[in-house]
Amino acid sequence: DSKRDISSKDLDNLAKTSFPLCMHHLFKKLREDHHLRHGGRQQLGLFLKGIGLKLEDALAFWKNEFSHKIGPDKFDKEYAYNVRHNYGKEGKKTDYTPYSCVRIIMSTPGVGDHHGCPYRHFSEENLRATLGTLRLSTPAVAEVLEKVRSHHYQLACATAFEAIHGSPSEGINHPNQYFDQSQKLLQS
């Protein structure tokens, strides 16, 4: 495995440069609210594991965020198990894999949830505003929205990738594959 280890202090930078919109949104909400509901913790937590965040760093990262709101003891009691569980250290000891685009697109986030795929689950207005914050040009935003209107969410994501990186993408089928493609381009 040639993947480098990621430390929790790298995450802000990586979120800016290489997270797809679904993970960028969850990361931002976690930083703002110091909380995410279960669906968001799973979607983001497994993605972070997939990019190389080790268990100890993951625990420190989630604990640091959640502690702002609920305090460290409550985190240890109610949330640490779930982080260890995702790394295969509790329960059935399954080493859970990060969710694919199809799985995320098919998910059904409710009110107060931040998981899901923004291309599928955001309103057009909200998506337009969010793409603006990524500094996508107006024609690029228009192209993304056109793909969304024809329900081609992964193509919309690939279009955003290309606009952000100024380089063609291999197509997007997994958030971790988006991340790897981005890192490959940025490191080359």
Helix, strand, or coil here: 19? coil
Q: How far is the CB of 162 from ligand SF4 (least distance, A)?
A: 12
- Asked if residues 42 and 62 have their Cβ atoms less than 8 Å apart, the reply is no
End-to-end CA distance of the chain: 19
String of DSSP letters for 121-176: HS-HHHHHHHHHHTT--HHHHHHHHHHHHTT-HHHHHHHHHHHHHTS-----S-HH
Nearer to ligand SF4, 30 or 157 (CB): 157
- Residue (of 92, 107, 89) closest to 49 by Cα position: 89
Q: How far is the CB of 7 from ligand SF4 (least distance, A)?
A: 23
Nearer to ligand SF4, 131 or 172 (CB): 172
Nearer to ligand SF4, 67 or 100 (CB): 100
Q: How far is the CB of 79 from ligand SF4 (least distance, A)?
A: 24
Q: How far is the CB of 159 from ligand SF4 (least distance, A)?
A: 10
List contacts with ligand SF4 (CB under 6 A). 20-22, 101, 104-105, 117-119, 153-154, 157, 172, 175, 178
Nearer to ligand SF4, 42 or 75 (CB): 42
- Residue (of 113, 143, 116, 149) closest to 131 by Cα position: 143
- Residue (of 180, 185, 178, 188) closest to 2 by Cα position: 180
Nearer to ligand SF4, 70 or 140 (CB): 140
Q: How far is the CB of 111 from ligand SF4 (least distance, A)?
A: 20
